[in-house]
Structure 1
Amino acid sequence: MDSIALPRAPAFEVTTRLFARALGCSSEELLQAFRPARVEDMPAVLAFRQRRGWDDAAYVRWRYGLDAQSHPHGRLWILRMDAGPVLAGIGTEVQPIRYGASCIADNC
């Protein structure tokens, strides 16, 4: 059986440069703008989510701890240039990784 050649994904540096150019900034500025959300980002995060039809301030506060009083269950990474709007967001959470009886991650 012949194997199908999959297209090669562009290198991280190439993708970063293309996105930065589209946003009118340098690759370094783009990488600095991608960071964990902070309490002061809450209004911009909610505005970003509302533009997508999600009106869920309580969830964001609970899930990502963006109210300075709760313990987060995950981390929200955002792309935000200076004090502008949030352009993108990725929610992550800590998951234990086990192999057999061994824990191979810090959070087991």
Structure 2
Amino acid sequence: MGTLGTQPQVDSVSIGRAPPVEAFRTTGQPAPLLPRVPSRGDCAPRYRNGEQGTCVNDKPCRGFGVLDGKQVICACFVRREGCDEHERCEVRQSRCVKESEPTFNLHL
């Protein structure tokens, strides 16, 4: 017959009570909201749902042109360089989503 291992000890006082609340060890910094700039040129990519991205520095941008300091860059909210080739910048969700994801009836 085998021997039983040691059984974990449970503090009977803590059963049924919520764990203590501890402060976060680090604080997060909010992402800066960069001002948008208008699209220029005719290179803006068109998404499968009919919407389109923008043209930034004569390059297709799957996002928006934003002013970062004195430089105009492509970004989709916190994602610099915009979305990947098979994604679109979805304003309703403030992020990149797959091109195949539906536009309407989003569950937020």
Report the TM-score when normalising by structure 2.
Answer: 0.22
Larger of the two Rg values belongs to structure: 2
Q: Which is helix-richer, 1 or 2?
A: 1
TM-score, with normalisation over the residues of structure 1? 0.22
Decide which structure has greater strand share.
Answer: 2
Higher relative CO (Cα under 8 Å, sequence separation at least 6) belongs to 1
